[in-house]
Amino acid sequence: MRKLSVALSCVALLLIIVWLARGAPQETRWREVEPGVWRSAGLPCGYALIDGDTALLIGAAREMDWRGLKSLNVRRIERCLLTHHHRDTSALARELLVEGIAVQAPKASAEWLHSDGVRRFWSACLPELVPGREPGLKDRTFNAFNYLVHPRGIDEIECSLEDGQTVDWRGWRLTVLATPGHSRDHVAFAATRLSETTGNALVFCGDAFATRG
- Residue-level pLDDT, tens digit, the chain, 213 residues: 555 554 445 445 444 443 444 443 444 689 999 999 999 998 889 999 999 999 999 999 988 999 999 999 999 999 999 999 999 999 999 999 999 999 999 999 999 999 999 999 888 777 666 666 655 555 555 545 556 899 899 999 999 999 999 999 999 999 999 999 899 999 999 999 998 877 789 999 988 876 665
Residue pair 179/189 in contact (Cβ under 8 Å)? The answer is: no
Residue 105 domain-assigned? Answer: yes
What are the CA-CA distances from residue 98 to residues 94, 101, 123, 143, 156 (Å)? 6, 7, 27, 33, 10
Owning domain of residue 126: 30-162
Residue 113 domain-assigned? Answer: yes
Number of domains in the chain: 1
Alpha carbons 168 and 171: distance in angstroms, whole number: 8
Residue 206 domain-assigned? Answer: no
DSSP 3-state assignment of 48? Answer: strand
Q: What is the pLDDT of residue 26?
A: 43
DSSP 3-state assignment of 62? Answer: coil
Residue 3 domain-assigned? Answer: no
Q: State pTM to two decimals.
A: 0.79
